[in-house]
A and B are shown apart, each in its own frame.
Chain A
Amino acid sequence: MTDAQLVQDAPVSLIAEKVGAHLKNRHAAERRFRAYGMASIIIAVIFLAVLLSSILGRGLGAFVQHEMQLSVTFDAAVLDPDATHDPKVLASADYMALVRSSMTTLFPEAADNRGARRELSALVSSGAEMVLRKMVLSDPSVIGTTKTLWVPTSAPLDQLMKGNMAREAEKGGQFSERQLGWVDALKEKGLVKSHFNTWLWTQGDSRQPELAGLRGAIVGSFYSLVVTLVLSFPLGVATAIYLEEFAAKNKWTDLIEVNINNLAAVPSIVFGLLGLEMFLNVFGMPRSAPLVGGLALTLVSLPTIIIASRVALKAVPPWIREAALGLGASKLQMVTHHVLPLAMPGILTGTIIGMARAIGESAPLLMIGMVAFIVDVPSSPLEPATALPVQIYLWAASPERAFVERTSAAIIVLLLFLAVMNAGAIYLRKKFERRW
């Protein structure tokens, strides 16, 4: 029986019943479908929340670091036995000996046992040496005196104090009973405290997690971004102006457009291969330099800037152009005096978004060698450097447990940069957006 016959033959009440029953199913299906949509949005947001909270939960701890209070005697017999006062002698003196003797005065029971001495000095970071050396070099008169100062603890102790590492050896703890006793004694005397982590901001990379900092990476990223901005902003805006305001629609401009779309879609690692082959092998530019990194990142951000600038130029209404031309402006005057200033907020927004893409990009930088282990903070775009996302990659590959915390902290810093840049773009758009 077809539906049409059903409608003709069946009594009205039966039809209503059938349709009604069917309608119930249909409405249920409607509600289900709606719930699927809602559920997928919720799933996506949960993914985001899990991602951010797992990073925040791991990384926030790295912004503070535990330090240990020691009273160090700057023994002239150790630092400068011949009383030369030569900075070279002072710089190469054995500062760890001072630290060790200061710790054995705290715990005299460890003094005559080599194993115990080694275990005791494992509590303090070799960064203590750097602190002492800096003090002596900046003011040699401290030699011979005794000073109370805070020095960084070793990474395992820091992790133990933060609760990231279990005390018991079976659960992955790295300390012996004896060491745990010392730690408890230090804690009781208030000689171990957490301080704001200045090392993270003032140091370059290091093999020791407690001394590894982001300064080198941030400076490297900064140089690369400056190169990127200097190149991609004028090139991108000029391309957009040419295509929107001057170019006729023909085969040539079609070719340009195809290539811009292509640039936007090429995987970024291919730009890295281009950089390796062209910039390094053919032009002989220095490896690992932010200059070359900036060149590769220019290609990453260029399409974003071109496309955003074209949209912004298109949004300027044609009567502005006609009015300018009607008053006798040349075409270029029309563009530079009227269209470009009106499109500038949109162009700048696009530029910031393009830069935000560039700062998070790491694949092309791996290809041109910005992955080396570099301790020094670069002082020019030609010196070897890493970048912030590459530093994250390097730290993530480090086996030490404390680097997990450092990596997460580096990610938080990177995400903060991105958030600030995007907030700036949104602010610009909200503030200067004009509807004609």
Chain B
Amino acid sequence: MQFLSLLVVLLLLSTIGYRLGRGRAVQVAGPKPSALHSLPNYYGFYVALWCGVPAFALVALWLAFEPSIVQSLIIASLPPETQALSPERLALLMNEVRNLGGATSFGQASDAMTAAAAEHYHSLRSISFGAMAVLSLSLAVVGGMLGLRWIHPDLRARNKVEGAVKVFLIASSTVAIFTTVGIVMSLLFESIRFFRLVPVSDFLFGLDWSPQMAMRADQVGSSGAFGAVPLFAGTLLISLIAIVVAAPIGLLSAIYMAEYAHPKFRSVAKPLLEVLAGIPTVVYGFFAVLTVAPFLRDAGGLLGLSIASESALATGIVMGIMIIPFISSLSDDVITAVPDSLRQGAYGLGATRSETIKQVVIPAALPGIIGGLLLAISRAIGETMIVVMAAGLSARLTANPFEAVTTVTVQIVTLLVGDQEFDSPKTLSAFALGLVLFIVTLALNVVALHVVRKYREKYD
């Protein structure tokens, strides 16, 4: 927790800078405070910024570059024959060194060389931290002093502080862009490595998925198979069941709430439905495994059907329950947005309420409803915890909802939880699956937003 105390000290220094700057401004202004260009507070902020920003920037840069520099120093200190190891072996070794030399060290070094390296690592880390602390603290002091020296009645402190704040605002708003770029880069980078090992066409159109690689080359399944079609089919099957469950229930309840329900009934029923959206998906997964799946299996047994305990049906139904509130609240919004004049016109022609809804309101709201359904499908495709807990693991190409199927997200989780080897197609294939998932959900959302927006232009 040394690091946290360094941050606290830096913050304290900035606060002191603020007080000093404010006092200095008042002092410089002398008897006539109006001689100052800005209010005294701004001079305080000005000094505080000079004190804090360079120091924090240094700490951030240090943290970003420290691990790689320390690593190269450690590797340079290793015996030459160890340095000549393959990059993967070297990374493994570094991992051990890091674990041994870290703050919470556990375990014993496997040999003397690693122990020495760990020792070296530990000392480098403490030297590095000390240097960072000294440098950042002195930078804060120097910055604060400079800021104080620059205080002058004509200094446009407010404009400078406001400029700095604006830079912060703009920088914050770019986080969303950087995140998207980061997602695309990390998925693409590993996917390209995967597609060097496994051709794209095999991945997208192959019918056989068995990513487990045998340990020895002469065993069965030594190459693994990465045909993702069974996963796509399983994902679609479960999503389809979910939509079949959720669409009628969600849509009809939205219609009832928007067109028929008494405001009092609505004020009770609507939050109740929204509770369904607030329940964490891991809870739905547990519910599927423990309640729905056994119930369906027993019910199927009574009817003479054999329903697997990890059936797509149970998973799909529970996912459908989760999606109901998405569909109902989105449909509710678009139905209430249909102008009342359309309804009044239909009533005037003698239509009953249900006829008005079926023949006037729904057609008018259709683009919005379809947009909502697309969003719900994208939610179902990307849903992870329910399927990880309740769906199967083995990739089977089937359209039978009573059988167990596996999905894209299940495979991503099973491939990446536990040991990862970033040089084997097994681990890398998870990123290729992630890329497909990202592209599909993105496309669905863009289409859905487009449809909804086009509709809005008509009535606003």
Contacts and interface: CB of A to CB of B under 8 A. Distances in A.
A and B pair up: yes
A247 B442 CA distance: 26
A259 B255 CA distance: 32
A135 interface: no
Nearest to B390: A396
Nearest to A376: B104
Interface stretch (B144-152, B166-174, B301-309): B166-174
A296 B285 CA distance: 22
Q: From A33, A242, A246, name the one whose CB has the most chain B CB atoms within 10 angstroms.
A: A33
A48 B276 contact: yes
Contacts of B217: none
B220 interface: no
B449 interface: yes
Interface in B410-460: 412-413, 416-417, 422, 430-431, 434, 437-438, 441-442, 445, 449
Contacts of B260: 34, 37
Contacts of B389: 393, 396-397
B127 to A, nearest CB: 18
B412 A273 contact: yes
Interface stretch (B76-84, B117-125, B195-203, B347-355): B347-355
Nearest to B186: A277
Interface stretch (B19-27, B51-59, B267-275, B363-371): B267-275
A79 interface: no
Contacts of B290: 54, 58, 396, 404
Contact of B180 (A262, A281, A363, A404): A262
Given A238-B169, A259-B176, A393-B282, A362 B385 contact: yes
Interface in A219-271: 234-236, 238-239, 241-243, 246-247, 255-256, 259-263, 265-271
A75 to B, nearest CB: 34
The binding surface of chain A is classed by DSSP as: helix
Contacts of B71: 284
B413 A407 contact: no
A199 to B, nearest CB: 21
A392 B168 CA distance: 39
Interface stretch (A38-46, A171-179, A342-350): A38-46
B409 A330 contact: no
B249 interface: yes
Contact of A54 (B165, B183, B287, B324): B287
Interface in A415-434: 415, 418, 422
Contacts of A239: 169, 172-173, 175-176
B248 interface: yes
A55 to B, nearest CB: 7
Contacts of A255: 177
Interface stretch (A22-30, A146-154, A181-189, A318-326): A22-30
B205 interface: no
A297 B115 CA distance: 36
Interface string B382-425: 11110011000000000000000000010011001100001000
A122 interface: no
A332 B160 CA distance: 12
A261 B434 CA distance: 19
Contact of B416 (A267, A276, A284): A276
B104 A383 contact: yes
B256 A274 contact: no
B173 A247 contact: yes
A40 B256 contact: yes
B183 A29 contact: no
B179 A263 contact: yes
A281 B422 contact: yes
Of B282, B353, B413, B430, most buried by chain A (CB within 10 Å of CB) is B282
A124 interface: no
A264 to B, nearest CB: 9
Contact of B162 (A236, A282, A332): A332
B132 interface: no
Nearest to A380: B1
A37 B417 contact: no
A55 B430 CA distance: 33
B279 interface: yes
B175 A269 contact: no
A265 B441 contact: yes
A332 B158 CA distance: 10
Interface range, A side:
35 or more
Contact of B286 (A278, A282, A411): A411
A333 B281 CA distance: 43
A218 interface: no
Contacts of B239: none
A286 B422 CA distance: 17
A408 B290 CA distance: 10
A421 to B, nearest CB: 10
B83 to A, nearest CB: 19
B241 interface: no
Interface in B246-286: 248-250, 252-253, 255-257, 259-260, 269, 272-273, 275-276, 278-286
A256 B173 contact: yes
Contacts of B300: none
Given A36-B252, A262-B445, A392 B272 contact: no
A387 to B, nearest CB: 10
A37 B332 CA distance: 13
A283 B186 CA distance: 12
Given A277-B189, A283-B67, A269 B168 contact: no
Contacts of B409: 267, 269, 363
B190 interface: yes
A299 interface: yes
Most B CB within 10 A of own CB, among A30, A44, A286, A371 = A44
A34 B279 CA distance: 28
B272 A265 contact: no
By CB atoms of chain A within 10 A, which of B252, B281, B357 has the most?
A: B252
A62 interface: no
B176 to A, nearest CB: 4
B381 interface: yes
Interface string A46-59: 01101100110010
A111 interface: no
A306 B177 CA distance: 14
A41 B287 contact: no
B280 A361 contact: yes
A209 interface: no
Interface string B324-339: 1000100000000000
Contact of A41 (B173, B269, B291, B355): B269
Contact of B434 (A269, A382, A397, A404): A269
B313 interface: no
A238 B273 contact: no
Interface of B: 1, 64, 67-68, 71, 102-104, 158, 162, 165-166, 168-170, 172-177, 179-180, 182-183, 186-187, 189-190, 248-250, 252-253, 255-257, 259-260, 269, 272-273, 275-276, 278-287, 289-291, 321, 324, 328, 352-355, 357-358, 375, 378-379, 381-385, 388-389, 409, 412-413, 416-417, 422, 430-431, 434, 437-438, 441-442, 445, 449
Given A256-B176, A265-B378, 10 more contacts: A37-B255, A44-B276, A48-B273, A259-B176, A266-B438, A274-B186, A283-B64, A392-B282, A393-B282, A396-B389
30 contacts: A26-B355, A29-B354, A40-B256, A44-B250, A44-B328, A45-B269, A51-B321, A55-B283, A235-B172, A238-B169, A239-B176, A256-B176, A259-B179, A265-B441, A267-B438, A269-B412, A270-B187, A274-B179, A274-B186, A277-B186, A332-B165, A359-B280, A360-B283, A367-B413, A390-B282, A392-B282, A396-B290, A396-B389, A414-B280, A418-B280
| 9 smallest beta-carbon distances between A and B, as pairs | A267-B382, A37-B256, A360-B280, A277-B186, A238-B172, A33-B354, A363-B384, A40-B252, A242-B169
